Every structure is written in C-alpha cells, then in structure tokens.
C-alpha cells in the first residue's frame, strides 16, 4: 500500500502536466492514505503528497503550478476540516468566514493581486510580525531581507519574528527583534502542520489584544505556516501582506533576494535604492568566542576556510564522498586551515567520520571542537571539525576568509556575512530553481552548476577556483 501513494501522486502530476486538470478523487485517495491509522501507510501518503506534489509545484516557480498548488491544498484543507480531530481548525476557519474551498481560493487570489499597497501611516505601526519560511536557509535568504527592510519601513515598530527558536542564534543579537517561538511540523501529520498555523494565530492575537488594526502589520514570507497564504491570520486581512515570489516567473536568472526586494518596493512604494541584502544579527557571545578562537589557534595569521557539506537531508544536492575528500585535501595542500562542520543527523556525521579517517591516513592532523570552542593550545591542526549550533558556526564563518559548501543553509549565511564563497549546485529540478536560490550578497560569490556534468569536470572546476584563493 505504501507504493500506492507514490503511484497516485505521480498520476496527479502527470495529468496536470498534460493539461487534463486535477482529479479530486485521486487527491481524496491520497489524503485517505496520509491519514491512515497505520503509521507507515500514513507516512507514505504524507511523503507522496508533499515530496511528490506540493514541493515540485512550488519549486517550479511557475504561476500555473502555483495555482494548481492552491487548488489541491485548499481541497486538502477542506478534507482535514472534516476529521474529528480537526474540529478546532474547522471552527477557526469558520470564524474568519471561510466555509468552503472556494472561499479559501477567492481569499488567496485577492491577496496575490498586484495592487495591494502598505499602510499610509507607517509611523503609527508599533509591531511588525514577520513569518518564518520554516527552514533556516530560506529565512536567511528571504526573511532576513523582510526584517531589514521592515526596520526602515516601520521606524517606530518592534519586529516580532515568528520562527523556530534556533533562529535566535542568527537574529537574536538585536534588541528590537523579538523571536516568538513557532515550530512547523515539517515531518508531522496533516493536522499537526495546520496546528502550526493556529499557534502562530494565537501568538499574534496575544501580542495585539490591546492594539488597534492600524498599529500592527503582518508580513507573510510565503510561509508554510499559512500554507503560502491559504490560512488567515487577521480578520479581513487588514494589515496583512503576502510575499508573491512569481512576479518575474518568466525570468530564468532572478534570485529570490531580488524578488522579495522588488515586492517590498511595490507594496511599500520603495525604489531600487531601497534594495537590501540578507543580514544577520548573531549574538555577541558567539562572535567574541569565534574571534578568541582564531586568535589563540592561528594568531589570526592563517588563511582559514569554513566548509559545510550539509544538504538538509537531500542527498541529490551532493556530488560524492570522493569529491568532498578531494576538496578538503586540496584546500589543506594549498596551505589553508579548514574548519569543517560535522553536519546534522547520522548520515552527515558518518560521512564526516569517513572523510576524517581518510585525511588521517594522509598524515593530516585533526582537532575536534564543540560549541564552546575549547581546545589544547599546543595543538597545531590542519583540519578542525566543529560540532554545535548554527550561531557559533555562523560566527566562525564570519571570521574566516572563505566558505565552501553545497546549496544549503551555509551558503546564505556566508552571503549575509559578506564572506567570499564557492557553492556547488547539484540535483536541482530546474535551472530557474537553482538561480532563485543562488546566494545573494555583497561578497565575491562563485557558483558551479554540477547538474549534467561529470564528477571529474566538477572537481577540476572547483580546484581551479580554490587554487587562487590566497
């Protein structure tokens, strides 16, 4: 039965691509699998729904696919509302005057029209709520721009960032930014994913209970929490603004950072001079620890490269173990000191261990550090492996001279910190997708597109760039 879910999802996408339309019966059949009492069957249905349909539709950055996503997921929401365990979700939507699938569609279609503009009296706004994109990399690439622009657009407002608490490590260094904890269940069931929206709604209601509508604004980064705007956060959508990333869907070589800047200009009447790059406010304790670490270990005299081969669980983004070993070995033989993030999860940590073993066999000295960055000062390592949180690693990146990695969170952190970098893109669904997620920043950014190339060619291109760093 678990294979059945993939078959259904594939059929739905095939019929969409052929212009046949969406068969609601197939969607209902997939929904029944996703809510099955058997956990393995339910997981197969959820995976097929999101990995086989929802993510491909949104990753295409195509307006027609976006409309199909809204059609499918608005129907899924209606199916969820009928579940006994989702009465609270149904009642909340009814309170917003949303009773049918058509109600959901009509509302979101109004929101993405190109004529909605921001409030005339922005100085009256006391709080701006910014919704997370859920993944940290996307929050750096997209949401951080919204946060930076909001500081200037609403000079008297406090920024309330609804996000995973881990975001404190990247955005918690500024007093005017309040992190309101909000966890989206990316690997949870259908009901739990919608409950993340309810938690966001509760937080906003609590923060605004004594405020008038014109005293706060809500900027939705096209968040999964609201299912890209399908779920409401305020009555009549007063003061609510939904980022629409498809205004330039026909242009292949646009970055999301450019798109969100232009959207903010359109909504809040800005100019190209208002464009802002991603930015972070890493808490001072992380930066101070990183500076002290480099000073003690290298006396700030070594050329240091930070490396992260993490891919967020998507192994298609990788090249290979051999490629990663050759890249690190090349950097070391060029005389660089390398700080390698051990990664997250069993698979990434195991790959790091294999890489370390091979480097030891080549006579390279390895030193491991945790988040406290403690080490024996007499050691003179070639490679330092880091195991800890993103805040301290971001600070280590900020004090390095170069960054190397795949298309993942680290590339956006390096770009926001203006650190020169090399990013290897692989396993992307379309060229447009890869361009959308290119790092956007002031630093010198080199990109290698590995898709369709031999591993030998990708490695040669990588070494060529890395050979002229120092």
Share of the chain above pLDDT 90, in %: 86
413 Cβ contact partners less than 8 Å away, ≥ 6 residues apart: 137, 140, 170, 280, 390, 393, 394, 397
State pLDDT tens for residues 301-336. 789 999 999 998 899 999 999 999 999 999 999 999
pLDDT of res. 300: 67
pLDDT of 299 strictly over 80: no
Average pLDDT for the chain: 94
Structural element, H or E, at residue 402: strand 402-406
When pLDDT is averaged across residues 101-109 and rounded to a whole number, the result is 97
Specify whether the CB–CB gap between 414 and 276 falls below 8 A. Answer: no
State pLDDT tens for residues 33-71. 999 999 999 999 999 999 999 999 999 999 999 999 999
**How far, in Å, CA of 332 to CA of 329, rounded?**
5
What count of other Cβ atoms lies within 10 Å of the Cβ of residue 388? 17
Q: Where are the domains of the chain?
A: 2-102, 122-274, 284-466
pLDDT of 114 strictly over 80: no
What six digits make up the tokens of 429?
């669904």
Long-range residue pairs from 287-294, CB within 8 A, at least 24 positions apart, any chain: 287/395, 287/398, 287/399, 289/372, 289/373, 289/392, 289/395, 290/373, 290/392, 290/395, 290/396, 290/398, 290/399, 291/399, 292/373, 293/369, 293/373, 293/375, 293/396, 293/399, 294/399
pLDDT of 215 strictly over 90: yes
pLDDT level of residue 246 (50, 70, 90 thresholds) = confident
Q: State in words which class domain 284-466 has.
A: alpha beta
pLDDT level of residue 185 (50, 70, 90 thresholds) = confident
State pLDDT tens for residues 364-383. 999 999 999 998 877 889 99
State pLDDT tens for residues 459-468. 999 999 999 8
Q: What is the DSSP letter of 405?
A: E
Least confident among 338-342, 375-379, 380-384, 429-433: 375-379
When pLDDT is averaged across residues 92-113 and rounded to a whole number, the result is 96
Q: State in words which class domain 122-274 has.
A: alpha beta
pLDDT of 1 strictly over 90: no
What six digits make up the tokens of 398?
């900020």
pLDDT of 354 strictly over 70: yes
pLDDT of res. 117: 81
Q: What is the DSSP letter of 52?
A: I
When pLDDT is averaged across residues 122-134 and rounded to a whole number, the result is 96
83 Cβ contact partners less than 8 Å away, ≥ 6 residues apart: 35, 191
pLDDT of 295 strictly over 60: yes
pLDDT of res. 254: 87
When pLDDT is averaged across residues 449-457 and rounded to a whole number, the result is 96
pLDDT of res. 253: 82
pTM equals 0.95
pLDDT of res. 187: 74
pLDDT of res. 248: 66
pLDDT of 397 strictly over 90: yes
pLDDT of 251 strictly over 90: no
pLDDT level of residue 470 (50, 70, 90 thresholds) = low
Judge if 122-274 and 284-466 fold alike in CATH terms.
Answer: yes
CA angle 359, 411, 316 (to 5 degrees): 70
- In the numeric block, the tokens 């498809």 are attached to 246
CA 345, 346, 350, 351 torsion-angle sign: negative
């Amino acid at each position: 039965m678990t294979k059945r879910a993939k078959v259904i999802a594939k059929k739905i996408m095939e019929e969409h691509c052929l212009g046949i339309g969406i068969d609601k019966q197939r969607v209902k059949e997939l929904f029944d699998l996703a809510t099955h009492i058997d956990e393995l069957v339910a997981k197969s249905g959820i995976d097929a729904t999101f990995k086989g349909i929802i993510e491909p539709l949104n990753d295409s950055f195509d307006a027609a696919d976006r409309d199909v996503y809204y059609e499918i997921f608005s129907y899924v929401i209606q199916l969820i509302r009928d579940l006994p365990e989702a009465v609270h979700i149904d009642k909340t939507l009814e309170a917003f005057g949303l009773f049918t699938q058509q109600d959901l569609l009509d509302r979101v279609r109004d929101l993405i029209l190109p004529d909605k503009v921001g409030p005339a009296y922005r100085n009256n706004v006391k709080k701006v709520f910014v919704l997370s994109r859920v993944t940290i990399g996307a929050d750096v690439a997209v949401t951080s721009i919204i946060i930076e622009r909001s500081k200037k657009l609403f000079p008297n407002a406090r920024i309330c960032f609804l996000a995973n608490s881990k975001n404190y490590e990247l955005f918690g260094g500024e007093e005017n930014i309040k992190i309101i904890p909000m966890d989206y269940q990316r690997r949870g069931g259908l009901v739990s994913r919608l409950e993340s929206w309810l938690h966001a709604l509760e937080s906003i209601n609590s923060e605004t209970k004594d405020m008038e509508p014109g005293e706060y604004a809500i900027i939705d980064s096209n968040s999964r929490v609201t299912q890209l705007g399908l779920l409401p956060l305020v009555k009549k959508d007063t003061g609510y603004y939904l980022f629409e990333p498809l205004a330039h869907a026909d242009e292949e070589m646009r970055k999301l950072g450019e798109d969100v800047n232009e959207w903010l200009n359109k909504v809040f009447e800005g100019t190209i001079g208002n464009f802002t790059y991603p930015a972070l406010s890493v808490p001072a304790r992380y930066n101070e620890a990183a500076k002290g670490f480099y000073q003690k270990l290298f006396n700030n005299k070594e050329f240091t490269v930070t490396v992260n081969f993490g891919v967020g669980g998507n192994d298609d983004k990788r090249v290979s173990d051999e490629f990663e070993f050759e890249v690190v070995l090349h950097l070391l033989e060029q005389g660089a000191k390398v700080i390698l993030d051990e990664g997250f999860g069993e698979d990434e940590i195991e790959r790091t261990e294999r890489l370390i073993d091979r480097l030891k066999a080549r006579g390279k000295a390895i030193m491991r550090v945790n988040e406290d960055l403690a080490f024996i000062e007499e050691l003179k390592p070639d490679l330092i492996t880091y195991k800890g949180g993103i805040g301290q690693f971001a600070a280590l990146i900020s004090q390095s001279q170069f960054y190397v990695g795949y298309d993942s969170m680290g590339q956006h952190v390096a770009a926001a910190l203006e650190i020169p970098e090399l990013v290897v893109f692989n396993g992307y669904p379309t060229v447009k997708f890869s361009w959308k997620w290119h790092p956007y920043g002031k630093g010198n950014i080199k990109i290698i597109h590995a898709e369709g190339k031999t591993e030998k060619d990708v490695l040669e291109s990588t070494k060529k760039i890395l050979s002229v760093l120092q």
